[in-house]
């Protein structure tokens, strides 16, 4: 899959280092790793604003859609329309729906159908894939 924002691995590493991204952000965003639950810096952040892709700045979620799913990762009930691309993930002996940034292809996490009304969705994201901006 090709995305509008393209960089080499060295360019992604340099960009994340320049931004002071969390340790492991490169592996999470560019190689679909997962941070350990309850360890990400945004798991318990409830400030107003929006969440953006750490790699390209694409706006992904409004903070008003964040909720405590108790899963150990920041969870949102709704993404900004068009911000996320969903990909069938058959790894680890199960079928899930992976979410990636629609602009740069950064791995964000997975989406599940067990969220709150009205969407019924739970976008379970890695903190290392996100940056929060206050209003």
Domain range annotation of the chain: 9-133
In this prediction, residue 30 carries a pLDDT of 98
Residue pLDDT, tens place only, 20-73 = 999 899 999 999 999 999 999 999 999 999 999 999 999 999 999 999 999 999
What are the start-end ranges of the H helices in 1-132? 9-19, 25-31
9-133 classified as CATH 2.60.120.260: no
CA distance 75 to 5: 25
The pTM of the full predicted model, rounded to 2 decimals, is 0.94
Query: Token pair of 79, please?
Result: 């993404």
Is residue 71 annotated as a catalytic residue, yes or no?
Answer: no
In this prediction, residue 95 carries a pLDDT of 86
Residue pLDDT, tens place only, 87-105 = 998 887 888 899 999 999 9
Long-range CB contact pairs, 114-121, < 8 A, 24+:
115/67, 115/69, 115/75, 115/77, 116/67, 116/77, 119/77, 119/78, 121/77, 121/78
In this prediction, residue 58 carries a pLDDT of 98
């Amino acid at each position: 899959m090709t995305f509008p924002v393209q960089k080499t691995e060295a360019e992604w590493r340099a960009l994340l280092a320049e931004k002071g991204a969390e340790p492991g952000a490169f592996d999470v965003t560019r190689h679909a790793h997962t941070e350990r639950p309850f360890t990400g810096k945004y798991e318990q952040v409830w400030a107003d604003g929006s969440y953006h892709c750490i790699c390209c700045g694409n706006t992904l979620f409004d903070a008003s859609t964040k909720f405590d799913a108790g899963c150990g990762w920041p969870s949102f009930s709704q993404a900004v329309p068009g911000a996320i691309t969903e990909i069938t993930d058959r790894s680890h002996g199960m079928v899930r729906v992976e979410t990636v940034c629609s602009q740069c292809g950064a791995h964000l996490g997975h989406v599940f159908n067990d969220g709150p009304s009205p969407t019924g969705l739970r976008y379970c994201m890695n903190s290392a894939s996100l940056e929060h901006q206050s209003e």
